[in-house]
Amino acid sequence: MLKKLFLLVLVLAGSAVAAALYGVSWLNHWAETPMELTQDQVLEVPQGSSLYRLSNELEQQGLIEHGRWLRWYARVNQLGHLIQAGEYRVLVGTTPQQLIKQIQSGAVVKYSVTLINGHTFREFITALQADPVLIKRLPDMDSAQILQALDEQRDHLEGLFYPDTYYFQRGDSDLDILVRAHDRMQTLLQQAWDNRAEGLPYQSPYEALIMASIVEKETAVGEERSLIAGVFVNRLNKKMRLQTDPTVIYGLGDQYKGNITKAHLKAYTPYNTYRINGLPPTPIANPALPAIEAALHPETTNALYFVAKGDGSHHFSATLQEHEKAVRQYQWKRRADYRSSPQQ
């Protein structure tokens, strides 16, 4: 009798094990079967969400039949309940297994915003405010508060941000992008400064940044940047004024309407390099690395002057007489298609 009972227990236990194995096999098969998606969609996982909440939401949306199946699958496969907040792009053909791994990995939808090299801080702010996804914090902050948020000791924001395309996720703010652009500029500027050429007339990386911003605004022709920097370095070394129009334009601010007049050149501003000696007090734009490298590795040249030729490039001269001749040739007889910068 005891023997028969023992055999019955074994049979029942075996059936339970078999049933459990079958259940696991079925659950894994379900998790590897594509969800009921007719088109790609974006799934938002809020901060503080749990696997329980997510599985119920997927069930309510009709993406999976029963939320508890997803929880069982995660438990059986020891995937844990940790999920990361954000937006996730769920493609047609995605399985529950792929979805849970995607959300646990934090592979969220990425957006991007581009800060263009040579643009001013004001133009950077305009680009950030125009982005439809970024949270807007900057409109409620003044310059002092932004500088404090950046842990920046200077009192002027111009030139401190690296122009580039920055990727972000929903929930990031315009200030977040600005912090990243600031950190990137500081890193790249310091690296370039540490590898600078010898004998440059700059006392600090910041002065090199000022020069780079001027070079950035003077030309978009890559091969000219180091030559233009060489001209400005020559002028600084000879105690000559830089006499560069982009600094004048920056100093005019909203007064500039598209043309520089003689009155503009005579008017004093801290940025009018026809009136001041040396560099202006701050950068006039946000330069990219090629302009920074040009400022720190200027071309050796005897040129002291240059003038726009009208095709986007410049004519360089070593003497005032040659320069005045070039001005007569290229600017006094401007063609209808004259351009001071390359065609974009």
The domain in which residue 48 lies consists of: 33-109
Distance CA 166, CA 111 (A): 8
Residues 128 and 152 in one domain: yes
Residues 300 and 313 in one domain: yes
327, 316 in Cβ contact below 8 A?
no
What's at 90, amino acid-wise?
A: V
Both tokens of 256, joined, read 């500039």
My answer on whether 222 and 293 are in the same domain is yes
**How far is C-alpha 52 from the chain's CA centre?**
36
Domain containing 75 — which CATH number? 3.30.1490.480
What SS3 class is residue 3?
helix
Let me know if residue 37 belongs to a domain: yes
157 and 185 share one domain: yes
Please state the pTM of the whole predicted model.
Answer: 0.80
Supply the pLDDT for residue 16. 53
Q: Is 308 helix (H, G, I), strand (E, B) or coil?
A: strand
- Both 118 and 80 in one domain: the answer is no
Tell me, yes or no, whether 102 and 120 share the same domain.
no
Do 100 and 52 share a structural domain?
Answer: yes
Q: Are residues 215 and 309 in the same domain?
A: yes
Task: Give bridge partners of residue 344 from the DSSP assignment.
Answer: none
Mean pLDDT for each consecutive 10-residue tract of the chain (344 residues)?
44 50 70 83 81 82 78 73 80 85 85 97 97 96 96 95 96 96 98 97 97 95 94 97 95 88 91 96 98 97 91 90 90 51 38
Residues 145 and 242 in one domain: no
Number of domains in the chain: 3
Pairing of strands 86-90, 111-114: unpaired
Looking at the domain assignment, is residue 149 inside a domain? yes
Residue 340 has a pLDDT of 43
Query: Helix 174-194 vs helix 205-218: angle between axes, to the nearest 10 degrees?
Result: 110
pLDDT at 296: 98
Pick the last residue of a domain from 74, 109, 144. Answer: 109
Same domain for 248 and 326?
yes
Contacts of 230 (CB under 8 A, 6+ apart): 298, 299, 300, 301, 303
Q: What is the pLDDT of residue 235?
A: 97
